Amino acid sequence: MTVEEIKKDIVKTEFYTINKKIKFESGVEFGPITVAYETYGKLNEKGDNAILIVHALTGDAHAAGYHSEDDKKPGWWDTLIGKNKAFDTNKYFVICTNILGGCSGTTGPSSINPETGKPYSIDFPVFTIEDTVKVQKEVLDFLGVKSLYTVAGGSMGGMQAMQFVISYPQMVKSAILIATTSRLSPQSIAFNAVGRNAIISDPNWNNGDYYDKENKPDRGLSSARMIGHITYLCEEAMYNKFGRKLQNKDHYDFNFDIDFQVESYLQHQGQIFVDRFDANSYLYITKAVDYFDPVSKYGSLKNAFKDSNAKYLVISFDSDWLFPSSESKEIVNTLMQLGKDVSYCEIKSPCGHDAFLLEYDVQSKIIKSFLNDHIKGDNNE
């Protein structure tokens, strides 16, 4: 292996400020908005080889590569983005933006309100998935992207990909929807509601005004993450990983300390989450996910997709009970009824909903095949 092959792909997070107000679905006009984004590969002269990667609930713009030589962990989808990978940066100009309302560089409740000099906190307007897509479109225009070869994402990223196709049907040539749904089930909304309640019930939340306080709503945010993390796994994954094994002990302690390994794991996930995420952002983003419902907004899923000419790849996982395969099949069946070009694959996996981040080998093959067929199809037109 050469020195160049060993060397890490160093990337830099960039920032673009939209110096105008964007009208949100709620009717509120809001701006300016700064968006954190990263790009990989090179945009061609026609501006039509771009791929937009949209992240899941608590993701960020750092989808691939490393921020420095000392960086130990690459971007969250590094296994799929890069030279000769599924999203091949030898061919495509890949873009990933941090979501509106986030806390990783894009304007959100923790950002400074220029009118007050203080964080927006809960004065930040409630937004929707459609609003996030409007913001992403502004970034694409700034970068010179004329059309999207593909928009791709898993979970909430799949919702954004769907909305992009719906909002800008003439701009999107194809969409890859992974482990996603066209609207949350009542059970999924309930899990989000419990997570938000855990944050709001934390005395340190202080009605959202905690940024200049010594104590933050860490316990509430940690509990919200623990609740969410349970939904990302599945019974098989949890049993295989933990079973009923005890944590560093041979017998029960007969108190309310941690006894089981699964308890320790969830506590750890909650603790590391508070170091990188903002409690108010969690409230806003989960609410945006709850509101996503093109079926109600457009009268039916058929009406939502009817103007699209995109080709679709839909992927689900058999152990995903948060967004089960039945919800992906509903999308697929709707697209088939409309006569759209759609491919579907259900992947067997013990990883639950998190499989879209973990099952990269099989996803890579499927995505590569889809994009290659996409290229052949375009060349034959």
pLDDT of residue 377: 60
Known catalytic residue: 320? yes
Predicted confidence (pLDDT) per residue in 13-28, tens digit? 999 999 999 999 999 9
pLDDT of 1 > 80? The answer is no
207 and 270 assigned to the same domain: yes
* Strand ranges, E, within the chain: 14-18, 22-23, 29-30, 33-40, 50-54, 81-82, 87-88, 93-97, 112-113, 118-119, 148-154, 174-178, 311-317, 341-347
Mean residue pLDDT across the chain: 95
pLDDT of 128 > 90? The answer is yes
pLDDT of residue 39: 98
195 and 178 assigned to the same domain: no
pLDDT of residue 376: 60
Per-residue pLDDT band at 8 (split at 50, 70, 90): confident
Residue of 59, 208, 25, 57 whose CA lies nearest to 127: 25
Average pLDDT of the segment spanning 86-103: 98
pLDDT of 370 > 90? The answer is yes
Predicted confidence (pLDDT) per residue in 25-39, tens digit? 999 999 999 999 999
217 and 147 assigned to the same domain: no
pLDDT of 6 > 70? The answer is no
Q: Report residue 291 CA to chain centroid gap.
A: 15
pLDDT of 7 > 70? The answer is no
Known catalytic residue: 307? no
Which CATH number belongs to the domain containing residue 212 in this structure?
1.10.1740.110
272 and 319 assigned to the same domain: no
Which CATH number belongs to the domain containing residue 340 in this structure?
3.40.50.1820
Instruction: Report the range of poorest mean pLDDT among 45-54, 249-258, 337-346.
Output: 249-258
pLDDT of residue 3: 41
128 and 71 assigned to the same domain: yes
Q: What percent of the chain has pLDDT over 70?
A: 96
Number of domains into which the chain is organized: 2
Catalytic residue among 78, 353, 354, 374: 353
195 and 337 assigned to the same domain: no
358 and 272 assigned to the same domain: no
Give every CB contact of residue 198 below 8 A, 6+ residues apart in sequence. Answer: 220, 221, 223, 224, 227
Average pLDDT of the segment spanning 327-341: 98
Range of the structural domain that residue 167 is part of: 3-183+293-380
142 and 42 assigned to the same domain: yes
238 and 302 assigned to the same domain: no
DSSP string, 307-348: T---EEEEEEETT-SSS-HHHHHHHHHHHHHTT-EEEEEEEP
101 and 229 assigned to the same domain: no
177 and 56 assigned to the same domain: yes
Predicted confidence (pLDDT) per residue in 144-181, tens digit? 999 999 999 999 999 999 999 999 999 999 999 999 99
205 and 249 assigned to the same domain: yes
Catalytic residue among 104, 111, 121, 155: 155
Known catalytic residue: 353? yes
Per-residue pLDDT band at 2 (split at 50, 70, 90): very low
Catalytic residue among 60, 259, 320, 354: 320
